[in-house]
Amino acid sequence: MYKGFYGLGSAMLTHQRNLNVIADNITNVSTQGYKQKRYGSTTFGDVLISRWDKEDPKGTPIGRQNYIRTESEIKTDFTQGSPEYTGQPLDFALYGEGFFAVQLTGGSVAYTRMGSFSLDEQGYLCLPGYGRVLSDTAQPLQVFTDKLYASQDGTVCDADGQTLGRIGVFRFDDQAALVHNDDNTFTGTGAQQTDSCQVMNNYLESSNTDLVRTMTEMISVQRSLQSAAELAKMYDQIMTKASTEVGRI
């Protein structure tokens, strides 16, 4: 009798979770190197419908039905963001499949497309608020100066042309297995140095969130959420009327 609430309730929860993902994408529309997320939903599982009575105590299966939908996964969209020229020697963007590697305070390594680097007190290239940038040998890259330039393979040279090191760019065989952290970094295993990703000095990669498309999607999901809420209200009124008035007959 009340199974309609399962569908309507799960629809509202699903749409609300989708709105949370969309809101996160909109919030990070100006975040360098941000990769937008995509919400996916699926049926919670088949429910076996059986007929049962005194003469059939074990029940007779008569079919299956799905009552609710639930979150299946939240995928990351790794499509390329637009490179934007900044003219800053410590700004770097990646064009292609790859990540910068950053050694965090505790010694662990995170991967990111953010490339607004700086120098710490010891002259190491670092991502402010995160940690030191790793070289192609997975060691912190010490450059000592911000008077530098980099070639497309990540090789860093000073103003006199002396090679200071090479920025590490790493790829993964299965990017979908990476954990997308809230701080715009990724964690995972199996990182490999790659030469197929172009390093662009004096540029930053913009977010790959399409604001117009995302806003349109948000409006559509909001309307679906409102419709489900209105239907749930109507369904509640019908059930209330059925349980009070029909019972008197």
Concatenated DSSP letters of 125-172: EEETTTEEEBBTTSSB-B---S-EEE-TT-EEEETT--EEEEB-EEE-
- Do 22 and 63 fall into the same domain? yes
- Kindly give the pairing relationship between strand 155-158 and strand 163-166: antiparallel
- Provide the pLDDT for residue 246: 61
On the question of pLDDT at 161 being above 80, the answer is yes
Q: What is the mean pLDDT of residues 156-162?
A: 95
Q: What is the mean pLDDT of residues 188-210?
A: 96
Distance CA 238, CA 228 (A): 15
- Do 95 and 34 fall into the same domain? no
- Do 180 and 120 fall into the same domain? yes
Q: pLDDT tens-digit profile of 167-186?
A: 999 999 999 899 999 999 99
Q: Which of 205, 221, 240 is at the close of a domain?
A: 205
Q: What is the mean pLDDT of residues 178-207?
A: 96
On the question of pLDDT at 57 being above 70, the answer is no
Handedness of CA 130, 136, 140, 146 (dihedral sign): negative
- How high does pLDDT run on average in the chain? 87
Percent of the chain whose pLDDT exceeds 90: 65
Q: Which residue segment(s) compose the domain that 167 sits in?
A: 83-205
Contact 41, 68 (CB under 8 A): no
- Provide the pLDDT for residue 234: 79
Q: What is the mean pLDDT of residues 147-155?
A: 96
- Provide the pLDDT for residue 80: 97
- Do 201 and 222 fall into the same domain? no
- Do 73 and 105 fall into the same domain? no
- Do 151 and 54 fall into the same domain? no
With left for phi above 0 and alpha for psi between -120 and 50, is residue 152 left, alpha or beta?
A: alpha
Q: What is the mean pLDDT of residues 219-231?
A: 85
Contact 102, 132 (CB under 8 A): yes
* Cα-only R_g, the chain: 26
- Do 136 and 27 fall into the same domain? no
On the question of pLDDT at 1 being above 60, the answer is no
The contacts of residue 1 (CB under 8 Å, 6+ apart) are 239, 242
- Do 90 and 175 fall into the same domain? yes
- Do 122 and 175 fall into the same domain? yes
- Provide the pLDDT for residue 65: 62
Total number of domains in the chain: 2
Nearest in space to 112 (alpha carbons), one of 46, 187, 175: 187
- Do 158 and 91 fall into the same domain? yes
Burial class for 224, CB neighbours closer than 10 Å (0-12, 13-18, 19+):
middle
On the question of pLDDT at 118 being above 70, the answer is yes
- Do 13 and 73 fall into the same domain? yes
- Provide the pLDDT for residue 225: 81
Sheet holding 148-150, edge to edge: 148-150, 155-158, 163-166
> Which tokens hold the place of 201?
């000095």
Range 106-119 burial, b when 16+ CB lie within 10 A, else e: eeebbbbbbbebeb
What predicted TM-score, i.e. pTM, was given to this entire model?
Answer: 0.80
- Provide the pLDDT for residue 2: 61
Nearest in space to 74 (alpha carbons), one of 165, 176, 174: 176
- Provide the pLDDT for residue 16: 87
- Do 87 and 161 fall into the same domain? yes
Extract long-range pairs of 170-174: CB within 8 Å, 24+ residues apart. Answer: 170/98, 170/99, 170/100, 170/101, 170/111, 170/194, 171/97, 171/98, 171/99, 171/196, 171/197, 172/99
Q: pLDDT tens-digit profile of 140-150?
A: 999 999 999 99
